[in-house]
């Protein structure tokens, strides 16, 4: 299993646009691995009517709904923006 890129990353950016409580198992693994290795996690979700997987919602540091916000995000000083919506 190749997790070296996560180990070397300053942060993990995840697109969480899954329909009807589906969750990609690879994405879920990467988030869990990053969380365990204390790599900050940024989640971007444009489909805000959809719930977020509970484990993803609890593991993230920064929750965004507009992917354009990534361009101005200070990755050296990531803000804490919790997810406060519905989970599954």
Q: How many domains does the chain have?
A: 1
pTM summary value:
0.92
> What is the spatial distance between Cα 1 and Cα 88, in angstroms, rounded to a whole number?
28
Low-confidence ranges of the chain (pLDDT < 70): 1
Per-residue pLDDT, 30:
96
> What is the spatial distance between Cα 27 and Cα 56, in angstroms, rounded to a whole number?
9
> What is the spatial distance between Cα 41 and Cα 56, in angstroms, rounded to a whole number?
9
Per-residue pLDDT, 80:
98
Residue range of the domain that includes 32:
4-72
Per the domain annotation, does 52 fall within a domain? yes
Per the domain annotation, does 86 fall within a domain? no
Per the domain annotation, does 38 fall within a domain? yes
Per-residue pLDDT, 82:
98
Per the domain annotation, does 42 fall within a domain? yes
Per the domain annotation, does 65 fall within a domain? yes
Per the domain annotation, does 54 fall within a domain? yes
Q: Is the dihedral of CA 45, 9, 56, 85 positive or negative?
A: negative
Per-residue pLDDT, 19:
82
Per-residue pLDDT, 1:
67
């Amino acid at each position: 299993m190749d997790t070296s890129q996560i180990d070397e990353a300053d942060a993990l950016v995840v697109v969480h646009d899954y329909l009807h409580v589906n969750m990609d198992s690879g994405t879920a693994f990467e988030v869990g691995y990053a969380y365990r290795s204390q790599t900050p996690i940024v989640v971007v979700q444009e489909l805000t009517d959809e719930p977020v997987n509970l484990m993803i919602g609890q593991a993230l540091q920064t929750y965004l709904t507009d992917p354009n916000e990534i361009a101005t995000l200070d990755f050296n000083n990531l803000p804490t923006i919790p997810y406060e919506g519905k989970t599954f």
